[in-house]
Structure 1
Amino acid sequence: MATDASETEAAESAPDAYRTLLKEYRRVANLRAASGVLSWDQQVMMPEGGTPARSQQLSTLSGLSHELLTDDGVGKALAELDSAELTPEQSASVREIRRRHDRAAAVPNALIEEMSTASSEALPAWERAKADDDFESFAPHLETHVELSREYAEHIDPGRDPYAVLFEEFEPCLSLERAESILATLKNALVPMIEEIRHSEVDLATDAFTSLGEYPADGQEELCREVLSALGYPWERGRLDTAPHPFSSGTTFDARVTTRFDESDPLGSLLSTVHEFGHATYTLGLPDDHYGTPLGEDRDLSVHESQSRLWENHVGRSRAFWEGFLPTVAEQFPQAADVTPREAYEAANQVYENNLIRVEADELTYHLHVVIRYEIERDLIRGDLDVTEVPEVWNDKYEEYLGIRPDTDSEGCLQDIHWAHGNFGYFPTYSLGSAMAAQLYAAAEDDVDGLDSSVAAGEFEPLHEWLTESVHRHGARYETDELVTQATGSGFTADAFVDYVTEKYGALYDLDAV
């Protein structure tokens, strides 16, 4: 996206300290982007034996990034800008860099490198532990992450709840109390709704695809490429690969997605790919001209997750999407030729009674998966739970909240990659993002004429343009609540999500009749 004349003039007239600040910050951003490529490679392509060298490489880059961000020159430039006259865009950049500088300056560089090394070493240990159903082999790595994360939080703010401090790494603009309030709203709405659905006598076409035989991985990969192309993924700036845990990473010039395949059901890889497309299209929608500055960076994980959940749930799980895309599925897999759009829609929106896996969860029980992880990692960081207790507590919570109990740790507490990375405070952003997605999509429906018809026709550009204009192009200019207000006309709440799922699943399962 090109910079307009007023922005160019503002940049040319910016104080010298501002120019210096952005120059130094771009170096930090480039180091982090390089680390991202190395991390992507470790998860997608690196041979298993590469871990010792890769951990050192990532540790070095993390240390250099930390040194640059906390350099005296950055601190001096920020101090000089305290009373400077700045444009709103410049003030936003200074605000964001100051937040990151102040947090980083409180933490010793040696700890940053130690945390990076721990993450690189924990990743292959997690992969082996998951494959072998061996939590005990991963537990020491998890214990190290917990200890280092507590130490990190202690350096930043020794007087505060350490989990709240860590949560700010992923969502700095919403308080943990606000997040907990939204989680509570979701839980209070969803628990009785899920219970009603389990008593419903409506028989959805849940096996519309799974009863039709095998779906080879190579065919699924081709189908995923088809859906990415249909959605508007620019292949000259991205690629599709497989990974044990699907993810997206990159920059506005190179945003890559991954997925994984289950040969008994094509919906998992298809919806996972649409989800990761949402992340990638946000990254790709950031303004090119602001690359390496806060105005060219995403707002943070709640907003990022809102984009992936919006494309996955409000588009990929919609009746309109299946009306348009089902013929492509049938072309790739002829056994699905007789599946109707309604049956595909029902299969994509079934509410599972016995699903243990978060990334394969339905749109409703998904949030109980998130709540369980949030409660466990919060208690780990606060010292209220020992690492050795995690499997049993995990299983107990699944039985309490979802009525099912994992038989193995591989399908239980080892299923997610986040703790292998040492990412504590990440999980709440998944549910925050889902709530935000509903609010954004409702606004898009109000603003874009015939949005549902466009989706059914395979025309996704109107939605893409609305999201780019309302969310992506702003980068981190606005804080979370202000960004949502700018896009939708009101502050961020869970109300739109509750309305959306009440209407959608009430109709699917005839809940008024229960």
Structure 2
Amino acid sequence: MATDAAAETERSEYERFLERIQRYTNVGNAAGVLRWDQEVVMPEGGTPARSQQLSALSAVSHEMLTDEETGDHLDALEDADLDQEQTAVVREVRREYDRATSVPTELVEEISKTTSEAHPKWKRAKEEDDFSIFAPTLETLVELKREYAEHVDPDADPYAVLFAEYEPYLDLGTADLVLTQLREELVPLIDDIADSDADLATSAFSGQFPEDEQESFVRDVLDELGYDWERGRLDTAPHPFSSGTQFDARVTTRFDESDPLGALTSTIHEFGHATYTQGLPDDQYGTPLGQSRDLSVHESQSRFWENHVGRTRAFWELILPKMQAEFPELNDVTVEEAYEAANQVYDDNLIRVEADELTYHMHIIIRYEVEQALISGDLDVEDVPEVWNDKYEEYLGIRPDTDAEGCLQDIHWSHGSFGYFPTYSLGSVLAAQIDATMREELDVDALVRDGEFDEIMDYLNEHVHGHGCLYTTDDLIEEATGEPFTADYFVEYAEEKFGELYDV
């Protein structure tokens, strides 16, 4: 009887704890809707009120997480007899709680207010091609994030502390090893491609393509892929992104009338993010088990759909006739020409979101090195444009002429998101590892060619999406692929694909 009574007490303790965490999660989700609104539809004059609203929600969320009652629940459940799912929930909340309780509420509120006010300043600086407009705010954000890292772990590398905000279970050393391997093994391939005499059909999609017709086409593609419109929507934003929950996972894209491929790949990329979110367990909403497993895994899903589906020959066999129906001027384009155009390697591209699969990682390495230097204090904010441009010249052989196409091109720093960029390359690497494992069980190309995406989606739901945060990142990777995280599959994939394309 005593044992039963103890179990009942623990169950009641866990239920009270879970109710508290669900309320905390909903406050954060509400803030997410306000951020989406700010970046997509809010009138420009709304910033002063929106910054206060987000700051207030940030403070409330922080106070709910760090309240003594949350700590009491966690302490009571530390050695309780919990099942696997309950243990995972406690583990995830404990990690958040320990970080949050080390940071004063006033600092959290100040960071939230500053990032909300930073967005319009970054946007104006980019529009006016003037880094000095954004520089003072960036300097403030760097100082605030250093202070944040100091509170979380005064003995650790501050950049490692910030990186752990986005990827807590793959440490910075792992990220550094992956980026080093990519730099060492991809640069020779990129150099060989630059020296290649291969004549790819790089101009297959040249012309002017009206924005409304592009939007109609990408909506058709989302239909084809299986986007759940009952739980999502498509809008435009200066910097495409996806956000939301399994009940409301929205995507944004952008259109350039001279570049229909850009809108297509951007939309498919964000679809990958959204379909991961939509695939999270409905019955776990409000708990860590109903949330995605950090950014490297999230990025693996977007890069899987963008590159391992959307840039394949099989995909172009399926989608080119539909594109030609929307744009009859493309009727003479062949599948092979479309495939080549979608996979060309650029030697003169300065923009990360427009980069090809290979040079993309050089863009990430540059950002990784610049923001590491910023956070460590080895680089002053005023020197960012020059150092940025020098690194582009060193790594890619090109130099930005403007701040807008240089250090102002990304929105991340205006969000205070230092440590975010490495997860893009980690996600690309993981996408290749998942793809290689999936192809041992499924004929992926045949399914894509026939427009049968349900099997692919079911596979990802079973091996990735449906777990939420049940596993840590490293455990999830082993669960999904049968082996530890490795960059070898991406390097092999890149060498085989682009070696064949460019005959190198």
Counterpart contact for 2:10–2:77, Cα < 8 Å: no
Moved more, 428-437 or 324-333: 324-333
Match runs of 1:309-348 below 5 Å: 309-348=303-342
SS in 2 for 1:406: coil
Which amino acid is 1:411 matched to?
E
Alpha-carbon distance change, 218 to 103 in structure 1, aligned in 2, over 3 angstroms: same
1:331: Cα distance to partner? 0.8
Which amino acid is 2:55 matched to?
S
SS in 2 for 1:222: helix
- Equivalent residue, structure 2, for 1:465: 458
- Equivalent residue, structure 1, for 2:4: none
SS in 1 for 2:440: helix
1:22: Cα distance to partner? 1.1
Q: Work out whether 1:142 is the aligned partner of 2:138.
A: yes
- CA displacement, residues 130-159 of structure 1 (integer Å, 9 cap, x when unaligned): 000010010011001100000000000111
Which amino acid is 2:413 matched to?
W
- Equivalent residue, structure 2, for 1:447: 441
- CA displacement, residues 235-290 of structure 1 (integer Å, 9 cap, x when unaligned): 11000000000000000000000000111110000000000000000000000000
Query: 2:153 & 2:429 partners in 1: Cα distance?
Result: 29
Alpha-carbon distance change, 249 to 12 in structure 1, aligned in 2, over 3 angstroms: farther
- Equivalent residue, structure 2, for 1:215: 209
1:13: Cα distance to partner? 9.2
Query: 1:23 & 1:74 partners in 2: Cα distance?
Result: 11
Counterpart contact for 2:10–2:80, Cα < 8 Å: no
Structure 2 unaligned blocks of 5 or more:
1-6
1:103 to 95, 99, 102: 99
Q: Work out whether 1:350 is the aligned partner of 2:344.
A: yes
SS in 2 for 1:208: coil
Q: Work out whether 1:475 is the aligned partner of 2:468.
A: yes
2:186 to 162, 186, 190: 190
Query: 2:123 & 2:323 partners in 1: Cα distance?
Result: 32
Counterpart contact for 1:440–1:488, Cα < 8 Å: yes
Match runs of 1:37-52 below 5 Å: 37-52=33-48
Which amino acid is 2:482 matched to?
G
Match runs of 1:66-81 below 5 Å: 66-81=62-77
Query: 2:217 & 2:349 partners in 1: Cα distance?
Result: 24
- Equivalent residue, structure 2, for 1:3: none
- Equivalent residue, structure 2, for 1:498: 491
- Equivalent residue, structure 2, for 1:489: 482
Q: Work out whether 1:379 is the aligned partner of 2:373.
A: yes
1:12: Cα distance to partner? 9.0
Q: Work out whether 1:123 is the aligned partner of 2:116.
A: no
Q: CA RMSD in A?
A: 1.0
1:339: Cα distance to partner? 0.8
Query: 1:504 & 1:281 partners in 2: Cα distance?
Result: 26
- Equivalent residue, structure 2, for 1:508: 501
Which amino acid is 2:461 matched to?
T
Q: Percent identity?
A: 65
SS in 2 for 1:15: helix
Query: 1:493 & 1:65 partners in 2: Cα distance?
Result: 36
Match runs of 1:25-424 below 5 Å: 25-210=21-206, 213-424=207-418
Structure 1 unaligned blocks of 5 or more:
1-10
Counterpart contact for 1:251–1:284, Cα < 8 Å: yes
- CA displacement, residues 13-63 of structure 1 (integer Å, 9 cap, x when unaligned): 962221122111111110111111000000000000000000000000000
SS in 1 for 2:249: strand
Which amino acid is 2:503 matched to?
D
Query: 2:8 & 2:141 partners in 1: Cα distance?
Result: 45
Query: 2:293 & 2:449 partners in 1: Cα distance?
Result: 30
Query: 1:474 & 1:427 partners in 2: Cα distance?
Result: 24
1:330: Cα distance to partner? 0.5
1:200: Cα distance to partner? 0.4
Counterpart contact for 1:17–1:78, Cα < 8 Å: no
- Equivalent residue, structure 2, for 1:7: none
Count of aligned pairs: 498
Query: 2:374 & 2:66 partners in 1: Cα distance?
Result: 29
Query: 1:303 & 1:414 partners in 2: Cα distance?
Result: 26
SS in 1 for 2:276: helix
Query: 1:58 & 1:473 partners in 2: Cα distance?
Result: 30
Counterpart contact for 1:309–1:433, Cα < 8 Å: yes
Counterpart contact for 1:317–1:349, Cα < 8 Å: yes
- CA displacement, residues 300-336 of structure 1 (integer Å, 9 cap, x when unaligned): 0000000000000000111100000111110111111
Which amino acid is 1:388 matched to?
E
Query: 1:328 & 1:124 partners in 2: Cα distance?
Result: 38
Counterpart contact for 2:303–2:427, Cα < 8 Å: yes
SS in 2 for 1:286: coil
- Equivalent residue, structure 2, for 1:456: 449
Normalising by the residue count of structure 2, what TM-score does the alignment of the two structures yield?
Answer: 0.98
Which amino acid is 2:191 matched to?
E
Query: 1:149 & 1:204 partners in 2: Cα distance?
Result: 45
Which amino acid is 2:43 matched to?
P
1:338: Cα distance to partner? 1.2
Query: 1:87 & 1:72 partners in 2: Cα distance?
Result: 25
Query: 1:12 & 1:379 partners in 2: Cα distance?
Result: 52
Query: 2:297 & 2:17 partners in 1: Cα distance?
Result: 26
Counterpart contact for 1:133–1:409, Cα < 8 Å: yes
1:451: Cα distance to partner? 1.8
1:441: Cα distance to partner? 0.7
Query: 1:281 & 1:440 partners in 2: Cα distance?
Result: 16
Query: 2:332 & 2:414 partners in 1: Cα distance?
Result: 43
Query: 2:478 & 2:254 partners in 1: Cα distance?
Result: 36
